[in-house]
Amino acid sequence: MPQPGAAKTLQRTPVPGPAFIRLLARLADTGVDVRPSPLALSQRLSQWIDWNRAVALSKALDGRLPDAVDDAPGCDRNEENECARVRTALVNAIAEVSALVEKIPADAAMDYPVFRERHLDLQRTMQAETGRLRGRLRDRLTQQSAQLARLAEVDAVMELTLSPREQTLLATVPVLLGKHFDRLREAAQTAAADLQSGDGEITLPPGSWLNLFRQDLQSVLLAELELRFHPVEGLLAALRTR
């Protein structure tokens, strides 16, 4: 029999956060584990949706289903191909920004604003392109069935409701990357100064901090792209079921 006091409180293993959030937490250098929110999704949404949007969402969920469309086309290859084309174009654009870092001489004086502007441009492009795809897919869903038309209506309300908050939160990502850029550069400069003074050993070859930043920048942008494509993939999956 277990001795008194031998029983230990079971520790629940923390559930990792989304890859994008965990990546940002690592780059922020906070040392804080990303844990799930104690609030349920419905509670969290209630904090983000004002009563006007709540009424619109309620109507989308509970309103009369629209009439079904007879002989509506299913998900053809055009929608699949367009989504794949846009994603590929955005991945290539991210690769171009990453390649910009590779072209910088190791001893060049470099500031972060050039990368911040590229990041902001990419964010605007990702927002515009994924928004366009969502609208296109919603139009197709409304032609399928009453249930899918309701899904399209709900998605439209959710995009209108959550997009402003999403853009506000994502706008902080270039700021976080800027701090990461500064930390890497300062660490490399300190290591180089220590080497010259004989007080320590350099841990990174000259210019390698830029390569590390390039990898992190690319990882963040690809994770952000994946996040922005989640609603698109959801609508596309619904269209495939027709």
Exposure string of 201-230, with b = 16+ CB inside 10 Å and e = fewer, is eeeeeeeebbbebbebbbbbbbbbbebbbe
Question: pTM above 0.85?
Answer: no
Helix, strand and coil percent figures for the chain, each rounded to 5: 70, 0, 30
Q: What is the mean pLDDT of residues 94-119?
A: 77
Q: What is the mean pLDDT of residues 100-110?
A: 64
Would you place residue 34 in the very low, low, confident or very high pLDDT band (cuts 50, 70, 90)?
Answer: very low
Q: What is the mean pLDDT of residues 49-77?
A: 58
Angle of helix 172-197 relative to helix 113-141, nearest 10 degrees?
Answer: 150
Q: Give the residue with greater pLDDT, 50 vs 83.
A: 83
What is the pLDDT, as a whole number, of residue 121?
94
HSE (side-chain half, CA atoms, 13 Å) at 127: 17
Q: Where are the alpha helices (DSSP H) in the chain?
A: 19-28, 41-48, 51-62, 77-102, 113-141, 146-170, 172-197, 208-240
To which residue do tokens 């209630």 refer? 46
